[in-house]
Amino acid sequence: MSLSNTQQQFTVSLAKLILFADSKGYGLTVGDAYRDPRVHGEFGTKRAYGAASSVHKKRLASDLNLFVDGKYITDGAHPAYIELGEFWEAAHPLARWGGRFKDANHFSFEFQGFM
C-alpha cells in the first residue's frame, strides 16, 4: 500500500474515532498532527521536540486532547481514554494507540515499524 493510500485510510479512521468520541459525549480538540520537516527535520532527523522518526512527519498521527464532562483528561488510565484507544486499535490493522507507551492522546498508524 502506498504512503498516500495509508494517509487517506488514517484520515478516515481518525474521523470515525472523533465521531465515536462525540457519540459517547466526550469532547476532543486536536493537538499535534502534521509536524512540518522544515521545523522538525525530515523523517529520521530530530529537530525541535518529538522523535526523529515520528509518524506525525508522515501525516500518520494526531494527538487528540480529551475532555470528559468539560474536564481535560491527562491520565492515560482514564476509562474514556482506554475506550477510545481500544476503539482505535480495532479500527485498522495499522492503528496504534499511544496509551500503550505512555502517550494516551497519540493516535497513529504504524509506518516502517514506527508508531
Torsional sign, CA 62, 63, 68, 71: negative
Residue numbers of the domain that contains 49: 3-109
Q: Is position 45 within any domain?
A: yes
Contact 66, 58 (CB under 8 A): no
CA-CA distance, 10 to 4, in Å (whole number)?
10
pLDDT tier at 18 (50, 70, 90 boundaries)? very high
Q: What is the pLDDT of residues 71-100, one digit of tens each?
A: 999 999 999 999 999 999 999 999 999 999
pLDDT tier at 54 (50, 70, 90 boundaries)? confident
Q: What is the pLDDT of residues 25-51, one digit of tens each?
A: 999 999 998 877 777 666 756 666 667
Q: Is position 75 within any domain?
A: yes
Tally the domains of the chain: 1
pTM: 0.90
Closest to 32 (Cα-Cα) out of 14, 18, 50? 50
CATH at 96: 3.30.1380.10
